Structure 1
Amino acid sequence: MLLLAAALAGAGLLAGCAPAIIGGTAVGVSVFHDRRPTEIMLADQRIELAALERYNQNAEIADYSRISATSYNRVLLLTGQAETEEIRRRYAELASRIPEVRKVVDQVTIGPVASLARQGEDAYLTSRVKVALASVRIAGFDPTRVKVVTAAGTVHLMGLLTPQEAQAVIAKVRYVPGVVQIVNLFETYPRPET
């Protein structure tokens, strides 16, 4: 557990966040702006680690794909490429069995693994989207509440936002050069009463 806390603290420093210790686990300072309860944020970290472990332990999948798993509010987003439909399906099935996963959104495409150049373009596009979010002008909006995942020019947006915030974010991202498609995975905050 100490090794995990050190790794998470280091990851926070690399991301530009000063780490804080909550419940014995290091988390980035942006945790204080997040609308998810702390236990859900920690569950998301556990889900991502479990997904990575299952991916790396299955050579039949890892050797013929490049799949990333991102968890937000226990919704697991799978992005990347798999050489066959069977590989994509098998990994989605493995990921769906991870404890605490509420839902799997499978956005993996079938085809050759993205080149390093394409991966670099996606990383750059993600940073451009994050910069654009800083100019959304809505009272109380915090751009760190938006999780941005880019694969082959498709920008996946996750977070707990008000309907007004979600509309403004999508409108802003739509005009970022290089965005091919937007996948809206926002959940409504506050959640409607049931």
Structure 2
Amino acid sequence: MKERFLRAGAAVLTAAALGAGLSACAPLVIGGGAMVGTLMAIDRRTAGTQVEDEGIELRAASRIRETLGDRAHINVTSYNRQVLLTGEVATAEDGQKAEQIVRGVENVLSVVNDLGIMPPSSLTQRSNDTFITGKVRASLVDAKDLTASAFKVVTERNVVYLMGRVTQREAKRSAEIARGVNGVRKVVRAFEVISEEELQRQLAQPAPVTQDPAAASAPARR
């Protein structure tokens, strides 16, 4: 049952991401219904940290846009308050400025700056990157020895970035899977590595019960 849900969830996320990619950098917003609570429950971050990461992404992207405007195409991804910057900037100075902006955002612990100094990628390239992300996610779901929900996948110019709180074994295995996906040029691991003991302690804890705010505020049906 869990694997079927994860596969269905991956398909929904891939379809949503494709729509966002085709609209040229439109933000991807996922919400509504029971899926919000369920995704939070199976994530290795706390529900509070997940919300915090979303806030970091929104604030960082907004401040970068205010400063650099159309001079840059930058994607901001936060996982457990570690921020990954991917995309393209016109100059090295713009790349450094973007990193400084993100480091100044509340609650950011660290920044991985992998911005390319080059013209912005094309719509075709971004659509292809979204397709690769979907294939990597599906491959992780298919892997019987991994928990796909532990990973966040980002693709930029055929380079796959893997994020998450994972063990050394999981880090190595997921990178091997990503490298085997057609079209992947390189895999970059940006993990927070934890021990097997820490993972077992976390798995032993009961999953938090989360509820969609809209559902909580809806009047009861008689």
**Interval containing the TM-score (normalised by the shorter chain):** 0.7 to 0.9
Partner of 1:95: 102
Spell out, residue by residue over 1:137-179, the C-alpha distance to the aligned partner (whole angstroms, 9 max, x if none).
21xx320211000000110000011222111111111111111
Between 83-92 and 181-190, the greater mean CA deviation after superposition: 181-190
Structure 2: segments with no counterpart, 5+ residues = 1-28, 199-222
Larger Cα Rg: Structure 1 or Structure 2? 2
TM-score, structure 1 as length reference: 0.82
Larger proportion of helix: 2
Greater RCO (CA < 8 Å, at least 6 residues apart): 2
Q: Matched residues in 2 for 1:87 and 1:96: separation?
A: 14
By how many angstroms is 1:38 displaced? 2.0
Runs of 4+ in 1 over 6 A off after TM superposition: none
Partner of 1:129: 136
Structure 1: segments with no counterpart, 5+ residues = 1-9, 21-28
Return closer, same or farther for 1:17/1:119 CA change in 2, 3 Å cut-off: farther
Between 43-52 and 182-191, the greater mean CA deviation after superposition: 182-191
| 1:151 maps onto 2:156 in alignment | yes
By how many angstroms is 1:12 displaced? 2.8
Partner of 1:176: 181
Spell out, residue by residue over 1:80-110, the C-alpha distance to the aligned partner (whole angstroms, 9 max, x if none).
0001111111111111111100000001000
By how many angstroms is 1:189 displaced? 2.9
Q: In structure 2, the residue corresponding to 1:156 is in which secondary structure?
A: strand
Partner of 1:108: 115
**Aligned residues: CA RMSD:** 1.9
Maintained 8 Å contact 1:136/1:168 = no
The count of corresponding residues between Structure 1 and Structure 2 is 170
Q: Matched residues in 2 for 1:136 and 1:51: separation?
A: 33
Spell out, residue by residue over 1:18-75, the C-alpha distance to the aligned partner (whole angstroms, 9 max, x if none).
233xxxxxxxx211111112221121111111112102222xx121110010000100
TM-score, structure 2 as length reference: 0.72
Partner of 2:54: 45
Maintained 8 Å contact 2:81/2:108 = yes
| 1:34 maps onto 2:39 in alignment | no
